[in-house]
């Protein structure tokens, strides 16, 4: 190659090289990404110790974190921590039941008594008058057993003393049977999904956890999703969960599960944001259920004055209208020290999991945080 000898040519070359070496203007951050981070930071600024959001679209994924994973060390929230999915478990369980319906092994119109004879009885409760559909849709009228357990956990000392106790599914149902049923309109009751888990065993001969693993977790390769039963510890990496019992009171580490509440078909799955997004994408995208059963799942009953803005409940899924039009399909989960919500747009093109690693028993505090979470979700799905 001939070396340039013209001074003019050399000057041009020096200018080009200099331009390549000098730092250019700072890159403009993607507006959606910066907004998602800002919205998560706003949630943290409301007193949440740590939070994470993972948004996925057909063109990529974005994970943002805010706050800390552990107050004592101030280490950051891990990039893909294990999470307690809580009542998102109900969506997994409803999916298994609907798969059994598709296989002709039971019907949504079957009575609970047919599959669980003598289990729902006493104080006006009658399993002959409750269908499988009503269990999944939360319209059975059955008392929520959790309402009997939470009053025994009113202080941090109660939590530490009682978190190790276990309760079998039939014991939890028996607790609910001490109460007369309510009207068969929509009312959230964990008892419905404890019974759904028992029903799965009656139909298949296998525990609901095995069916979830074989039918959903394995085929979707959800490698970080487990059904731990009464095992109360989170795998690493994870953020610590913190519960605040009184307004302005101390934050108490509640990372260890309350086994009587967190071990069953109503709320025990442990997962990650990435796995939960993959699950909701497969479900809404029709990869887990035939069209008829997915339509059943998305057939809604009205929810009166829901503070989260959800307007309907299907079979293990909430419906939430979006300000930009259309709506989203979602289920949340919470427990001592955590909130998780998994959301998909109506066509499944956007999936989002939001996790918070602390909670307060102060309703006013939680209402403000719920509003901030709703803003984050709506902006992420409407972009």
Active-site annotation, residues: 87
Rounded Cα gap, residues 234 and 270, in angstroms = 8
Q: Which two tokens stand for residue 278?
A: 């993959």
Question: CA torsion sign, 18 to 22 to 26 to 28?
Answer: positive
CA dihedral 210, 135, 191, 272 (to 10 degrees): 50
3-state helix, strand, coil in the chain (%, to 5): 40, 20, 45
Per the DSSP assignment, residues forming a β-bridge with 330 are 318, 343
Measured CA to CA, the distance from residue 345 to residue 281 in angstroms comes to: 9
Q: Give the containing element (helix H, strand E) for 249.
A: none
Q: Output 146-150 pairs: Cβ under 8 A, ≥24 positions apart.
A: 146/190, 146/261, 148/175, 148/176, 148/178, 149/175, 149/258, 149/260, 149/261
Sheet holding 318-321, edge to edge: 60-67, 50-57, 350-356, 338-345, 327-335, 318-321, 312-313, 301-302
- Rounded alpha-carbon distances, angstroms, from residue 77 to 66, 70, 250: 7, 8, 20
Residue in 187, 211, 177, 204 with CA at minimum distance from that of residue 115: 204
| Continuous segment of H or E residues that includes residue 142 | none
Alpha-carbon torsion angle 198, 199, 203, 206, nearest 10:
-20
Kind plus residue range of the DSSP H or E element containing 93: helix 89-102
Residues in a beta bridge with 68: 76
The secondary element (H helix, E strand) that includes residue 42 is helix 31-44
3: its two tokens: 């070396």
d(CA 347, CA 355): 23
Here the tokens at position 241 are 């969960």
């Amino acid at each position: 190659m001939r070396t340039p000898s013209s001074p003019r040519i050399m000057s041009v070359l020096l200018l080009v090289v200099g331009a390549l070496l000098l730092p250019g203007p700072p890159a403009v951050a993607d507006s959606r990404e910066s907004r998602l981070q800002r919205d998560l930071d706003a949630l943290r600024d409301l007193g949440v110790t740590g939070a994470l959001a993972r948004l996925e679209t057909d063109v990529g994924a974005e994970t943002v974190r805010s706050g800390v994973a552990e107050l004592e060390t101030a280490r950051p929230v891990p990039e893909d921590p294990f999470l307690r999915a809580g009542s998102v478990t109900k969506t997994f369980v409803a999916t298994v039941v609907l798969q059994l319906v598709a296989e002709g092994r039971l019907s949504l119109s079957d009575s609970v008594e047919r599959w669980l004879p003598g289990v729902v009885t006493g104080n006006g409760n009658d399993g002959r008058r409750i269908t499988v559909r009503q269990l999944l849709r939360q319209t059975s009228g059955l008392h929520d057993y959790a309402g009997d357990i939470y009053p025994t956990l009113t202080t941090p000392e109660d939590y530490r003393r009682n978190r190790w106790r276990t309760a079998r599914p039939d014991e939890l149902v028996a607790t609910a049977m001490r109460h007369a049923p309510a009207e068969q309109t929509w009312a959230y009751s964990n008892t419905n999904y404890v019974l759904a888990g028992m029903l799965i065993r009656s139909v298949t001969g296998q525990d609901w956890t095995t069916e979830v693993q074989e039918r959903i977790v394995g085929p979707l390769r959800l490698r970080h999703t487990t059904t731990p039963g009464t095992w109360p510890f989170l795998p690493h990496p994870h953020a610590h969960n913190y519960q605040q019992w009184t307004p302005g009171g101390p934050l108490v580490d509640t990372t260890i599960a309350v086994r009587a509440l967190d071990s069953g078909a109503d709320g025990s799955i442990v997962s990650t944001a990435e796995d939960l997004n993959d699950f909701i994408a497969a479900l809404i995208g029709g990869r887990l259920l035939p069209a008829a059963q997915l339509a059943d799942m998305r057939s809604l009953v009205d929810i009166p004055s829901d503070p989260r803005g959800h307007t309907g409940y299907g079979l293990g899924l909430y419906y939430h209208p979006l300000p930009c039009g259309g709506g989203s399909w979602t289920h949340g989960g919470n427990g001592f020290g955590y909130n998780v919500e998994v959301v998909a747009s109506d066509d499944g093109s956007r999936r989002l999991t939001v996790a918070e690693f602390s909670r307060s028993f102060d309703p006013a505090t939680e209402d403000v945080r719920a509003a901030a979470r709703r803003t984050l979700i709506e902006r992420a799905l409407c972009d």
